[in-house]
Amino acid sequence: MSYFIDRRPNARHKSAVNRQRFLQRYRSHIKRAVEESVNRRSITDMERGEKVSIPAKDISEPSFQHGPGGRRTVVSPGNREFAEGDRLRRPGGGGGQGSGDGQAGNQGEGMDEFAFSLSREEFLDFVFDGLELPHLERKQLQVLEETRPVRAGISKEGVPARINIVRSMREAQARRIGMRAPLKRALREAQEALEAEERKDPVLRNPARIDELKSEIVRLEKRIGSIPFLDTYDLRYNHLTHQPMPSNQAVMFCIMDVSGSMTQAHKDIGKRFFLLLYLFLERNYEKVELVFVRHHTVAKEVDEEEFFYSRETGGTIVSSALTLVDSIIEARYSPEQWNLYVAQASDGDNWDDDSSTCLELLDESLMRKLQYFTYVEITPHAHQALWEAYETVRAAYPERFAMQQIVQAEDIYPVFRELFRQRAKG
Amino acid sequence: MTRRKPIATGSDWNFEALEVYERAIGELAREYRLDTYPNQIEIITSEQMMDAYASVGMPIGYHHWSFGKQFLSVEQAYRRGQMGLAYELVINSDPCIAYLMEENSLMMQVLVIAHACYGHNSFFKGNYLFRTWTDASAIVDYLVFARKYVAKCEERHGVEAVEQLLDACHALQNYGVDRYKRPSPISAEEEVRRQDEREAYLQTQVNRLWSTIPAPASGLVQQPSNDLENDPLGLHRHDRYPSEPQENLLYFLEKNAPLLEPWQREIVRIVRKLAQYFYPQRQTQVMNEGWATFWHYTLMNRLYDDGLIDEGIMLEFLQSHTSVVSQPGFDSPYFNGINPYALGFAMFSDIQRICQAPTDEDREWFPDIAGSDWLETLHFAMHNFKDESFIQQFLSPKVIRDLKLFSLIDDDRDDSLQIEAIHDDRGYRRIREALSVQYALSAREPNIQVWEADIRGDRSLTLHHVQDRRRPLAQSLFPVMRHLHQLWGFPVKLESMEGGEVVRRYQWPIPEPTHESA
């Protein structure tokens, strides 16, 4: 007696809970491994999952076992040249290892590390664990520009396209029953009276009364027949209201200095920083748009390829980029509808008298629209006028303006964490 | 024999073909008197197979991180292509659940049906260890009960508390079995019905044992005290508790650990019951795989002889079978211990040969079975042995020669290793003896028993490790002691004994040095 069952449609991921339990339990180990790998690898690789190793000894499940030592006899297959009584040198020089634990020994190799794969989501969870977006306020709309139609019950008025047929028919039926009831009752009474009259002895009948009843019956039947099947006030419509929708979209402006002083290495560091920020935003918003603005003495909106890889020469005027961002916001990304983030990377060079222009621009216009402004300065050297100007901005908007210095690629991740670490509420 | 038309050809399978094959194999199996539970054959995806692997062959299990770890390592190995998943996975239950992976070729599916649904299945139903230790009809219900109970405890007491308890129990699960007593079968209905009752009862038992004013135990034999100076009233003049050493550590803890809550005792019990369920499998690896392999080989050949499978499938089968029963030598890079499929298959095939075509050597070594009815003898061997005794009884010189077995002595007092025996007349018996011991659970796992619970003193628990051939315990004993301490709640001591002498003492928590000198 046998039967087959096709289990393939059944739920997969039966082990999902156990898997999560494992990840939870070794959270700190995994986090360390993830951080190392983030620093080591190019950030572009973070788009996929990650192989993670943690020390096997930390996750072993202990049990009572025989340790090395003592006297043991081992039977193995595949003898070729041994004869009884032969003596062999102990492999690995003593230690009682022997081929004694052939099994354990062989498996033991390469098992110092327990390696497994994290999915992309799990990996990013660990990367961004404990980070928060500053001022992640869902944009509340003063102007109901972006709304979403929402079903809001039934109404008596509406357009034919939204007729709710079931509800309309129900109303009609109720109305028909209600309107017929008194007429039907009167009809029945009239019929009964007519029958009673007709059953009477012919002598006693009242012909006038019979005629009267008969015409009454005809009149009632006509009235019943004229009750409409569907009337205009039976009609019901699905009612839609327009609900303002909190904006769940963000735009991220990447501003990078491409003047002669920025080397490719600087740009790579900048790129990694931008990528981290992008991944982070992507996890928090349904939709993230990217705008690339590069500048030397003049700013220009470019595509990603050009942004990262084209070379320019010349001086640096940072305010040109800020002005361009401002005008792009003005034209395309209304702050009411978009969460706006700006990430700027530069080596800190700027025309001296431009820095005060930047300060003015930020303070008076940009910072009011932005959720957050991050500035990373990629330089091993001392700060210049731009940094000082930005420090003033930071003092004015401590919650929404962040800046850090990056010297080499390894600094990016710690700096990123520093910029976005969860702040105590209050 | 009239050759029939092949049921199906090619490598794609479908349900109709599998059902026909299953019936055909079933008929042949009856011819060979393979008595099985009904088969429940489940087609699953590779991912579901990984799930099944991860839960160590339980169709449904409670949640624990260690199963997640298992899953991750299976997944990793599978992704890297190190591991072909799923030759088969079969569960000792009634009906017997066998998993077939959808990616398998037609040949593979037929092979797995023969191997798992008739080989392993008949072994589960017939072998004495399984008959004694497991109740196939109740296991699935019990697993459901266990899962629900653990989930309920997690809800009430928090995931972490349950996890720590399970960690501790898992560390001791190999010591959750009565090796010599027949256990009562587990039944889920009964478990649920009696569980509340038991909680209350258990607690009163423990309370009695640990009551602060111990009544003079009437059952205990008074021992003449040799310490009249310090104990004139004879307060400590009682026998050891427990009076006999206890081999079932988890059982002892469940009944006697002073501080465990009733729900904790129940979880200890669940782990213990599941350890018991897997206990026969740990002792019949060679036999179980050998039996199933022998039968898939025999049944597949019969299918081919009867014309139900064509040459293409047969060739594919032979290739697969050959790799399953291959045994790399000890010096091969692929060597990973003795392959239980290879050894078991060789032994069962050899028993058949001894019955059918005995040589003089066989007549001398196996006078009882040489020339007897092979099917009868094979069934007898399957029913009444475990690996240890099976090898002791049936490992023939021919198999030893074929596998070129040799035995090696590794003694840490000796600078060199010594070849004790090889496949020659002088060596056969010694190799057989040594291999039998190698498969004896009692030699593979350290012998550790509860020696004393000091119920009148500091409540410490003392275990005895009977050391064998000077083989010490591995370092892993410290974390195990820590787990044991968590369960017992008071200091735990372990003494390694050899020849009646204590050779090593361990203790957890490690006593403060100042404490000891004081």
Radius of gyration (C-alpha) of chain B in whole angstroms:
27
- Is-contact A351 A257, C-beta < 8 A? no
Q: What is the DSSP letter of A14?
A: T
The pLDDT, as a whole number, for residue B379 is: 96
The pLDDT, as a whole number, for residue A136 is: 54
What is the rounded end-to-end Cα distance, in angstroms, of chain B? 88
| A13 interaction partners in chain B (CB closer than 8 Å) | 47, 51
Of the partner residues B44, B66, B330, the one whose CB lies closest to the CB of residue A78: B330
Q: Is 70 exceeded by the pLDDT of residue B331?
A: yes
Nearest of B59, B95, B30 to residue A2 by alpha carbon: B95
**A414 plus A337 within the same structural domain:** yes
Chain B: closest CA distance from residue A118 (Å): 9
Interface contacts (A, B; CB < 8 Å): 280
Band of residue A334 on the pLDDT scale cut at 50, 70, 90: confident
Chain A: closest CA distance from residue B316 (Å): 24
Residue among B99, B147, B406, B484 with most chain A CBs within 10 A, to mutate = B406
Question: Alpha-carbon distance B345 to A263, whole Å?
Answer: 69
Q: What is the DSSP letter of A57?
A: G
Question: Alpha-carbon distance A252 to A172, whole Å?
Answer: 56
Task: State the residue range of the domain holding A343.
Answer: 249-420
**A411 plus A317 within the same structural domain:** yes
**Do A99 and B330 make contact, defined as CB atoms within 8 angstroms?**
yes
Q: What is the pTM of this model?
A: 0.72
Among A311-315, B141-145, B348-352, the least confident range:
A311-315
Nearest of B118, B107, B124, B87 to residue B12 by alpha carbon: B107
The pLDDT, as a whole number, for residue B395 is: 95
**Do B72 and A67 make contact, defined as CB atoms within 8 angstroms?**
no
The pLDDT, as a whole number, for residue B456 is: 79
Interface check for B59 against chain A (CB to CB < 8 A): the answer is: no
Band of residue B221 on the pLDDT scale cut at 50, 70, 90: very low
Domains: count for chain A: 3
The pLDDT, as a whole number, for residue B224 is: 47
**A194 plus A281 within the same structural domain:** no
**A317 plus A189 within the same structural domain:** no
Residue among A25, A75, A76, A82 with most chain B CBs within 10 A, to mutate = A75
**A211 plus A346 within the same structural domain:** no
**A219 plus A256 within the same structural domain:** no
The rounded mean pLDDT for chain A is: 80
Band of residue B185 on the pLDDT scale cut at 50, 70, 90: low
Q: Which of A239, A272, A291 finishes a domain?
A: A239
Of the partner residues A15, A73, A102, the one whose CB lies closest to the CB of residue B330: A102
Give residue-wise pLDDT tens across range B77-130. 777 665 554 567 888 898 999 988 888 889 999 999 999 999 999 999 999 999
Peptide bond into B328 cis (omega under 30): no
Q: Which of A239, A258, A275 finishes a domain?
A: A239
| A293 in a structural domain | yes
Q: Is 80 exceeded by the pLDDT of residue A162?
A: yes
- Is-contact B472 B436, C-beta < 8 A? no
Question: Alpha-carbon distance A424 to A422, whole Å?
Answer: 6
**A195 plus A283 within the same structural domain:** no
Strands of A87-89's sheet in order across: A71-76, B406-411, B416-421, A87-89
Band of residue A405 on the pLDDT scale cut at 50, 70, 90: confident
The pLDDT, as a whole number, for residue A341 is: 86
Give residues 195 to 254 of B whose Cβ lies within 8 Å of A: none
Question: How long is chain A?
Answer: 426
Stated as kind and residue range, the H or E segment containing B341 is helix B340-356
**Do B337 and A4 make contact, defined as CB atoms within 8 angstroms?**
no
**Do B51 and A14 make contact, defined as CB atoms within 8 angstroms?**
yes
**A179 plus A309 within the same structural domain:** no
The pLDDT, as a whole number, for residue B516 is: 44
What tokens does B255 get? Answer: 């009944």
Give residue-wise pLDDT tens across range A178-192. 999 999 999 999 999
The pLDDT, as a whole number, for residue A42 is: 57
Chain B: closest CA distance from residue A93 (Å): 9
Q: Is 50 exceeded by the pLDDT of residue B243?
A: yes
Give residue-wise pLDDT tens across range A283-310. 777 777 888 888 888 888 888 778 777 7
Task: Name the β-bridge partners of A252.
Answer: A290, A341
Residue among A12, A73, A119 with most chain B CBs within 10 A, to mutate = A73
| B416 interaction partners in chain A (CB closer than 8 Å) | 87-90
Give residue-wise pLDDT tens across range A33-56. 877 777 666 555 566 667 778 887
Per-residue CA distances from B339 to B178, B289, B345 (Å):
28, 10, 10
Band of residue B430 on the pLDDT scale cut at 50, 70, 90: very high
Query: What are the backbone angles phi and psi of residue B51, rounded to the nearest 5°?
Result: -60, -45
Q: What is the DSSP letter of A3?
A: E
What crossing angle do the helices spanning A352-361 and A318-332 adopt, rounded to 10°? Answer: 20
| A54 interaction partners in chain B (CB closer than 8 Å) | none
Chain A: closest CA distance from residue B261 (Å): 24
Widest distance between CA atoms in chain B: 93
Work out the percent of chain A whose per-residue pLDDT is above 90: 11
| Beta-carbon count within 10 A of B35 CB | 11
Of the partner residues B38, B44, B434, the one whose CB lies closest to the CB of residue A73: B434
**A193 plus A336 within the same structural domain:** no
Q: Is 80 exceeded by the pLDDT of residue B131?
A: yes
| A344 in a structural domain | yes
Q: What is the DSSP letter of A148?
A: E
The nearest alpha carbon in chain B to A72 belongs to: B410
Nearest of A410, A249, A420, A263 to residue A345 by alpha carbon: A263
Give residues 309 to 328 of B whose Cβ lies within 8 Å of A: 327-328
| A91 in a structural domain | no
Residues 6+ apart with CB under 8 A from B191: B142, B145
| B47 interaction partners in chain A (CB closer than 8 Å) | 12-13
Interface check for B161 against chain A (CB to CB < 8 A): the answer is: no
Per-residue CA distances from A41 to A44, A46, A377 (Å):
8, 8, 21
Question: Alpha-carbon distance A369 to A371, whole Å?
Answer: 7
Instruction: Label each residue of B163-179 as H, E or C.
Output: HHHHHHHHHCHHHCCCC
Give residues 378 to 407 of B whose Cβ lies within 8 Å of A: 403-407
CATH number of domain containing A291: 3.40.50.410
The pLDDT, as a whole number, for residue B242 is: 84
Question: Alpha-carbon distance A261 to A263, whole Å?
Answer: 6
**Do A96 and B410 make contact, defined as CB atoms within 8 angstroms?**
yes
Peptide bond into B242 cis (omega under 30): yes
**A194 plus A299 within the same structural domain:** no
| A202 in a structural domain | yes
Of the partner residues A12, A15, A100, the one whose CB lies closest to the CB of residue B67: A15
Output b/e per residue, A261-277; b: 16+ Cβ within 10 A: bbeeebbbbbbbbbbbb
Question: Alpha-carbon distance A102 to A109, whole Å?
Answer: 11
| A149 in a structural domain | no
Give residues 495 to 514 of B whose Cβ lies within 8 Å of A: none
Peptide bond into B472 cis (omega under 30): no
The pLDDT, as a whole number, for residue A397 is: 85
| A3 interaction partners in chain B (CB closer than 8 Å) | 38-41
What crossing angle do the helices spanning B374-384 and B285-305 adopt, rounded to 10°? Answer: 150
One-letter identity of residue B127: N
**Do B327 and A6 make contact, defined as CB atoms within 8 angstroms?**
no
Compute CA B58 distance to the chain's CA centroid, rounded to the nearest angstrom: 13
**Do A70 and B50 make contact, defined as CB atoms within 8 angstroms?**
no
Which position has the token pair 């099944």?
B52
| A398 in a structural domain | yes
Band of residue A425 on the pLDDT scale cut at 50, 70, 90: very low
| A56 interaction partners in chain B (CB closer than 8 Å) | none
The rounded mean pLDDT for chain B is: 86
| A108 in a structural domain | no
Mean pLDDT, to the nearest integer, of A231-252?
80
Of the partner residues A2, A13, A71, the one whose CB lies closest to the CB of residue B38: A2
Nearest of A347, A342, A352 to residue A321 by alpha carbon: A342
| B171 interaction partners in chain A (CB closer than 8 Å) | 61-63
Question: Alpha-carbon distance B410 to A66, whole Å?
Answer: 14
Q: Give, in degrees to the nearest 5, the angle at Cα A130 between A124 and A132.
A: 90
Mean pLDDT, to the nearest integer, of B351-363?
95
Q: Which of A239, A259, A294 finishes a domain?
A: A239
The pLDDT, as a whole number, for residue B218 is: 45
**Do B412 and A62 make contact, defined as CB atoms within 8 angstroms?**
no
Give residue-wise pLDDT tens across range B273-324. 999 888 999 899 999 999 999 999 999 999 999 999 999 999 999 998 998 8
The nearest alpha carbon in chain A to B173 belongs to: A63
| A155 in a structural domain | no
Nearest of B37, B44, B185 to residue B103 by alpha carbon: B44
Q: Is 50 exceeded by the pLDDT of residue A103?
A: no
Of the partner residues B102, B431, B480, the one whose CB lies closest to the CB of residue A8: B102
| Beta-carbon count within 10 A of A155 CB | 14
Which position has the token pair 């309920």?
B152
Give residue-wise pLDDT tens across range A105-148. 333 334 567 888 888 778 877 877 777 666 555 554 444 356 67
Which position has the token pair 């205990």?
B220
Task: Report the SS3 class of residue A70.
Answer: coil
Question: Alpha-carbon distance A36 to B428, whole Å?
Answer: 56
Widest distance between CA atoms in chain A: 143
